[in-house]
């Protein structure tokens, strides 16, 4: 692990534990606070004995500061929906291990870990219409085509070096955005309905490209969000609507088959069919029509979510493979090159060696080890 990362981890842990420089300097055996200050400023290297004393002081393993397969207070996460605090904390550590492993191996491989996502010009005072229009514009600029939901994940990974991971999350979490320096990651609960997965990906994308202007809450639990934070979440939803259901695409659907009027059941049927074509949920499609002025709000209120429920075949579509092909291929390269053992790779994933082999098969990749 490079000195810069060790310094950042040490300083981040000190600040998170609310320990001042004087007290930590004393615990490390320094004569004065300035020595620790020089370390944090990069003017002095961290010696092995310093790390041993710091680990003892904070009650952590020395690997907390040096293990490249772990994140140690380096990343910012924003989790969509709520989960039990202990469960979420544990899962965040696991997710951090996945992202850290990808970052470390990609660097060894000589590949970029610098996401090319732009920052867009929205702020908390922007209107919902502006957010939706920005989503529409991003969809067109990325070339997502007539079914953006089908192409979003691959475009973000291949064109913008943004890591997309479809994973098995803890109960209560549908997705998350993670910002780790220049590396951006979106995690999606792969057990959510397909339309929900796509919408969550668009929602998390919004957070990543507006993080500087309006950093999201660590946990997006609606009952605990401030008024300003709730507005940011609404802007994210409107952005995702525009991203996945661009105006010209929705208008094109209406030109092919007009949206029925004054018949809630017929309207619901049209909305369900349109949502299925675009890979989004029925309610998302309904409110996008309202936002575009193609369906009156009063009519939308009369179309209950029960009428918009997608059929079982749509909701039970095949789950996406775990993680992503890019992530798993990078893991395989690391095993082949001897940068991590098979057992360590299985531990990072949180699975057995046998199941690790299955993971490569899921992505059509050669298993880089013999069982």
Domain boundaries, the chain: 3-66, 247-315
- For residue 262, what pLDDT band results from cuts at 50, 70 and 90? confident
Q: Is the pLDDT of residue 115 over 90?
A: no
Mean pLDDT of the chain: 93
Q: Rounded to an integer, what distance in angstroms lies between the CA atom of residue 112 and that of residue 109? A: 9
pLDDT value for 117: 87
Residue 100, φ and ψ in degrees, nearest 5: -65, -40
Q: Rounded to an integer, what distance in angstroms lies between the CA atom of residue 173 and that of residue 87? A: 10
Closest CA to 281 of 300, 258, 309, 304: 309
pLDDT, mean of residues 365-370: 95
pLDDT value for 2: 81
- For residue 311, what pLDDT band results from cuts at 50, 70 and 90? low
Summarised one tens digit per residue, pLDDT across range 237-250 is 999 999 999 999 99
Summarised one tens digit per residue, pLDDT across range 120-176 is 989 999 999 999 999 999 999 999 999 999 999 999 999 999 999 999 999 999 999
Q: Report yes or no: 241 and 288 within 8 Å, Cβ to Cβ.
A: yes
Q: Is the pLDDT of residue 286 over 60?
A: yes
Output the CA torsion sign for 152, 289, 189, 136: positive
Q: Is the pLDDT of residue 327 over 90?
A: yes
pLDDT, mean of residues 39-50: 93
- For residue 80, what pLDDT band results from cuts at 50, 70 and 90? confident
Q: Is the pLDDT of residue 353 over 70?
A: yes
Buried b (16+ CB within 10 A) or exposed e, 312-327: eebeeeeebebbbebb
pTM for the model: 0.90
What is the DSSP secondary-structure string of 90-147?
Answer: HHHHHHHHHHHHHHHHHHHHT------PPPPS--TTS-HHHHHHHHHHHHHHTT-TT-
pLDDT value for 24: 96
pLDDT value for 316: 54
More confident residue, 315 or 46: 46
Q: Is the pLDDT of residue 312 over 60?
A: no
pLDDT value for 371: 76
Q: Rounded to an integer, what distance in angstroms lies between the CA atom of residue 236 and that of residue 247? A: 17
Q: Rounded to an integer, what distance in angstroms lies between the CA atom of residue 189 and that of residue 322? A: 10
Q: Rounded to an integer, what distance in angstroms lies between the CA atom of residue 20 and that of residue 253? A: 61
Residue 187, φ and ψ in degrees, nearest 5: -105, 135
pLDDT value for 317: 61
- Between the two ends of the chain, the Cα-to-Cα distance in Å is 30
pLDDT, mean of residues 338-346: 96
pLDDT value for 72: 81
Q: Is the pLDDT of residue 269 over 90?
A: yes
Strand-pairing partners, residue 188, are 166, 175
pLDDT value for 323: 97
- For residue 314, what pLDDT band results from cuts at 50, 70 and 90? low
Q: Is the pLDDT of residue 214 over 80?
A: yes
Closest CA to 305 of 280, 284, 279, 274: 284
Summarised one tens digit per residue, pLDDT across range 134-143 is 999 999 999 9
pLDDT, mean of residues 59-69: 91
Please state, in angstroms and as integers, the Cα–Cα distance from residue 222 to each residue in 81, 225, 254, following that order.
8, 5, 34
CATH 1.10.260.40 assigned to 3-66: yes
3-state secondary structure of 223: helix
Q: Is the pLDDT of residue 229 over 80?
A: yes
pLDDT value for 174: 93
């Amino acid at each position: 692990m490079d000195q810069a990362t060790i310094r950042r981890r040490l300083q981040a842990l000190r600040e998170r534990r609310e320990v001042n420089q004087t007290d930590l300097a004393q615990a490390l055996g320094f004569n004065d606070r300035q020595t620790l200050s020089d370390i944090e400023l990069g003017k002095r290297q961290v010696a092995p004995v310093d790390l041993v004393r710091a680990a003892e002081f904070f009650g952590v393993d020395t690997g907390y500061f040096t293990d490249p397969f772990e994140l140690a207070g380096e990343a910012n996460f924003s989790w969509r929906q709520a989960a039990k605090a202990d469960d979420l904390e544990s899962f965040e550590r696991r997710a951090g291990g996945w992202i850290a492993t990808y970052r470390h191996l990609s660097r060894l491989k000589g590949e970029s870990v610098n996401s090319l996502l732009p920052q867009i010009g929205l702020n908390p005072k922007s209107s919902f219409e502006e957010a939706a229009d920005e989503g529409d514009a991003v969809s067109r600029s990325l070339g997502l085509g007539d079914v953006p939901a089908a192409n979003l994940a691959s475009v973000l990974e291949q064109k913008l070096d943004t890591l997309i991971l479809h994973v098995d999350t803890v109960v209560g979490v549908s997705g998350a955005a993670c910002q780790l320096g220049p590396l951006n990651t979106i995690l999606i609960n792969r057990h959510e309905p397909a339309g929900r997965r796509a919408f969550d990906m668009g929602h998390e994308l919004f957070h990543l490209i507006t993080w500087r202007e309006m950093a999201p809450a660590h946990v997006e639990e609606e009952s605990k969000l401030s008024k300003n934070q709730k507005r940011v979440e609404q802007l994210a939803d409107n952005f995702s609507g525009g991203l996945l259901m661009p105006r010209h695409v929705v208008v094109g659907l209406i030109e092919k088959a007009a949206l029925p009027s004054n018949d809630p059941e017929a309207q619901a049927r049209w909305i369900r069919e349109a949502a299925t074509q675009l890979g989004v949920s029925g309610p998302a499609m309904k409110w996008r029509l309202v936002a575009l002025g193609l369906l009156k709000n009063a009519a939308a209120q009369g179309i209950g979510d029960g009428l918009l429920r997608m059929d079982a075949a749509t909701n039970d579509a095949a789950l996406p493979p775990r993680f992503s092909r890019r992530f798993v291929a990078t893991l395989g390269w690391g095993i082949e090159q001897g940068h991590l053992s098979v057992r360590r790779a299985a531990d990072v994933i949180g699975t057995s060696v046998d199941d690790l082999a299955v993971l490569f098969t899921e992505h059509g990749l050669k298993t880089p080890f013999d069982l």
